Amino acid sequence: MPGQKTIIKIPALKTENRIEYMNLKSLLSEGAVEAIKGNYNEALTCQYLYNNDGSAGVEITAEYKPVKSEIDGIVKKWDNDLKNAVTNYKEVRSIIDRGSKDMTKYLIGTTIQQDSLIIGAYLDNLSFQGGVEFKADIMVAVMKEGKKILDAYSLKLYSTKSVNLFNSSPKGMALILAGDKASNEVEAAIAGDSRLQKLIDNAKTADKLYQQAKKDKDEKSKKKYFEERNAARKPINPRLAEITFKVLKPYVKTASFSENLLKALGFTDKDTKMLMAVTTDRNSVIIDKHPDLDVSNIDMVLKGTTINIVGPTGKNIVTFGFKEGEKKKLAAKVSFSGIEPVDLASLPIVDEI
């Protein structure tokens, strides 16, 4: 209703990778950098909302004005952490800045379109000690001037339209999507497959010989064992995919499976709108639609070394790719290719962010 205040929660993407904040200065891994970029992006987007106080679509109320200094401090903190984590600070900072500005333009522009005002914003759950999965959420306070209701957003900053959700294992995938029982079933099926176990043992032996050749800098042996390892791994990946598929297939039509899939994608429910900036050093686009985020009627399809979660229109929602044979690894990816980006120029924003 007019004059009603609504809190819009923007949930963070969940991930299995755990990075302790106390060791961040010495952590130069891609995971640490991506975690900083995500948190920095969220804080910077909030800061830009406050910086536009008094412009079209933004009118910060007395209730939220004190939050600005807190947001400014958090932005400064993540900026310092970024400087300690990367050597190409200016380039990375420029990408985060561009994506955050575009997200801010989108939030303000769509708010104006819905006859509303952004009256405040703040970050929640900033305790980073638990790892990346506790990445800060954004809370946006909106004063509604019309009858339209704003949706929830999931805020993400990426450099590619093919997004890695998480790295896991067959057992881990089953646990994430279907729970303990399914996870134990996958583990038991793998352990009980004698032919598969023999293949795994062969691949482990080949990998051990390859690693030793690398250590010895024996290029001839290294090439030989590399090829042997690849040959040993080749039949393992499709077999692991087949076993995992057979166990999980009966769970696909359950409500809990759909809920767990949405959580893995970073959404709290199927009505959550996503706000994604695909930003590089050359350009930036905003995407606010998932290719097929309808999980009411999903199916699972096995194709070689991959398991695809397919939506009702036939599009793949998520692809789980099995890799590295004896190591029993898999990568979950979601693709946003082919999705028409938002035309920011068409949004009713008067001033440049």
Q: Out of 169-178, 223-232, 263-272, 291-300, pick the least confident.
A: 263-272
Predicted confidence at residue 345, as pLDDT, reads 79
Angstrom distance (rounded) from CA 222 to CA 213? 5
C-alpha triplet 73, 79, 80: angle, nearest 5°: 95
- pLDDT tens digits for range 250-279: 999 888 888 788 777 655 544 455 677 777
Q: Please, what is the average pLDDT of the chain?
A: 77
Task: Please check the confidence at residue 336 and state whether its pLDDT lies above 80.
Answer: no
Least confident of 121-130, 175-184, 189-198, 282-291: 121-130
Q: What percent of the chain has pLDDT over 70?
A: 71
Stretch 325-336: mean pLDDT: 82
pLDDT at 242 over 90: yes
Instruction: Answer yes or no: is pLDDT of 177 > 50.
Output: yes
* In the predicted structure, residue 126 carries a pLDDT above the cut 90: no
Q: Give the residue extent of every domain in the chain.
A: 5-159+339-346, 166-252+298-335
Q: So what's the pLDDT on residue 11?
A: 38
Model confidence over 40-57: pLDDT tens digits? 888 899 999 999 999 988
- Specify the pLDDT at position 51: 95
Mean local confidence (pLDDT), 55-67: 90
Is residue 131 scored above 80 in pLDDT? no
In this structure, of 46-60, 150-164, 302-316, 336-350, the range with the lowest mean pLDDT score is 150-164
Among 4-8, 101-105, 131-135, 175-179, the range scoring the smallest mean pLDDT is 131-135
Out of 3-7, 137-141, 226-230, pick the least confident: 3-7
pTM of the model: 0.61
pLDDT given for residue 85 in this prediction: 79
Tens digits of residue pLDDT in 70-108: 889 889 988 988 888 788 899 889 988 988 999 899 889
